Chain A
């Protein structure tokens, strides 16, 4: 296959080069007259964000501190019933699964609850950006039965143009926007939450002045 694959590479490129196509200018995304200039904005992005998170099937709780996050969690049946919990948000929220001690992500198959931090949220669609910078196993985000994300109220952006401007260049091999719990509508278009990924998504919108 080795040499044939190299041939195919050359053949494809040659075929593409054999046909000159009239050039088209690449539009600017930022700057005057660009799409980011006219994109939707919100006076109060955090409130808009909270509403959108609920619209895409998540639960959004607005809190003042991490202590309050813990209080809310302890009132939550799903969290109380969770046998295997993992916390990636610091010691305020305790857990009994340590990702650093796990070699093989398959061991996470029985994880019940994961709480992690999102770098920022987006008001227009309720999405939150998470990278694998501090998450040893990216599988943990998808395999956990229930997911909670902590995001700062001050980090909420209006739209996806601002989001990618903020991401800049990806430094880690993995980053994901998560908006709501896993869902499907493949059986007669009925919406069912909890397809393969998390069954519930709780978002803690924390007020933490920069």
Chain B
């Protein structure tokens, strides 16, 4: 079953290729800068964020009522509504709908939920061809990889590598790497898939309780083709995607694309309120652990996430270590909050993949206090005894040191001498992972304790500071 995955090990592989790590960092910083320009162009940005955060908090508090209202209104519009307690049930429901059509070809537009449920392998095992139609997702699908980012699934791949992949699967010129040329090849290939498909699957960005409809946002138009050509459209959504009223969309549509890619809105923002004449529309409502996160006072607000990816684009750890290092469907700061909620042991290292700089919290359009939640996770992981030995041993040693002033003084004296005299290889080695990318400071000649004893003995800290300021001529 689930093996424990350690972020530092996975990240090390990515960081080892320094130029790639730098390139990835730059690409994401570029997106983050575009987001900043957009946020600064709206004087009401902060009010938008608080309004969004309040709407989500209200929704999460009233979730059972809001879900039932949504279900009733969707049914009244001729939509089939399904409920799935977990990933397995979600996959079974989707496969059964596809089978009822005697369909074998499915086109899918980007959906983190189906990714989370591992829908593709389930359908494929049932003999169904599933084609991801978002260009970035199609690229990773062909390469047999997983998306490394929730909005920019192929951000870790270089255009030359896309060229190699397309030469192999789509017959493009070997060595070609022009994005325009490669996109055109994908357009032709995917058009034929859209025309062949019997069922289209999409995700959901927002579902509206008051109207029983839902909204899907894309730039490419793939969700729209997938939903308007095949006779059957299946929309898969987590139960947290709801909002109460249609007008609430005005808040979220303004925030989503600006936070995600720095666009004022996505090219297509499609509102589905019922099937096309003679066609079928299905909605699958999925829990898969969400109701459990709602139970927790500390992490509840993470359910408000609108999957914009802004927290990843700004995160200094994500930018350098790459999305795959998180070994989770949702990576980055929000993934590091959500993944341990699903399986604490497996994802115990993720809350440590964080510098606590707080940048994620600053950019989050729904004001999830991400870095506070990551800190809370660290406490819970330590309390559950899930820390790796390397961390617990050091912490136990530290705690002993701080509790015994004499040993502390002795250790300090030894340390100052050791750092000066010991050969480098004795200080920087495998026993000191901290020193891999950092230099220890030049040790001072005298410890603070002995400086205090000669200069300030008998004075309080306040007086000591005053006399120091007086000396500095303040």
Contact = CB atoms under 8 A, between A and B. Distances in A.
Contact of A195 (B60, B84, B135, B254): B135
A159 interface: yes
Nearest to A192: B183
Interface string A178-198: 111111111111101011111
Closest CB pairs A-B (n = 3)? A197-B221, A125-B264, A186-B136
A2 to B, nearest CB: 10
Contacts of B55: 26-27
B271 A35 contact: no
Given A12-B287, A24-B57, A189-B27, 9 more contacts: A5-B82, A23-B58, A26-B54, A26-B245, A30-B247, A105-B229, A177-B269, A187-B159, A188-B27
B158 interface: yes
Nearest to B257: A125
Contacts of A189: 27, 30-31, 152, 155
B291 A12 contact: yes
Contacts of A5: 82-84, 89, 93
Given A16-B294, A19-B294, A192 B179 contact: yes
Interface in B189-248: 190-191, 194-195, 211, 213, 219-222, 224-225, 228-229, 239, 244-248
Interface in B178-194: 179-180, 182-184, 186-187, 190-191, 194
A33 to B, nearest CB: 10
Contacts of B249: 160, 164
A127 B219 contact: no
A143 interface: yes
Interface string B273-308: 111100000000101000100110000100000000
Interface string B60-88: 11111001100000000100001111000
B246 A139 contact: no
Contacts of B219: 182-185, 195
A178 to B, nearest CB: 6
A179 B265 contact: yes
Interface stretch (B42-50, B167-175, B320-328): B42-50
Contact of B220 (A4, A178, A183): A183
A38 interface: yes
B159 A127 contact: no
A143 B229 contact: yes
B263 to A, nearest CB: 7
B135 to A, nearest CB: 4
Interface stretch (A59-67, A72-80, A93-101, A165-173): A165-173
Interface of B: 27, 30-31, 42-44, 47-48, 51, 54-55, 57-58, 60-64, 67-68, 77, 82-85, 89, 92-93, 96, 133-136, 139, 152-155, 157-159, 162, 179-180, 182-184, 186-187, 190-191, 194-195, 211, 213, 219-222, 224-225, 228-229, 239, 244-251, 253-254, 261, 263-276, 285, 287, 291, 294-295, 300
Which interface residue of B55, B60, B159, B221 has the most chain A CB atoms within 10 A? Answer: B221
Interface residues of A, number: 76
A8 B211 CA distance: 23
A178 B268 contact: yes
Contacts of B213: 170
B184 to A, nearest CB: 8
Contacts of B267: 56, 178-183, 197
B47 A13 contact: no
Contacts of B157: 188
A19 B295 contact: yes
Contacts of A177: 253, 265, 268-269
B318 to A, nearest CB: 16
A21 B294 contact: yes
A83 interface: no
Contact of B179 (A1, A125, A187): A187
Nearest to B83: A9
B29 to A, nearest CB: 11
Contacts of A178: 267-268
Given A23-B61, A139-B228, A160-B253, A187 B135 contact: yes
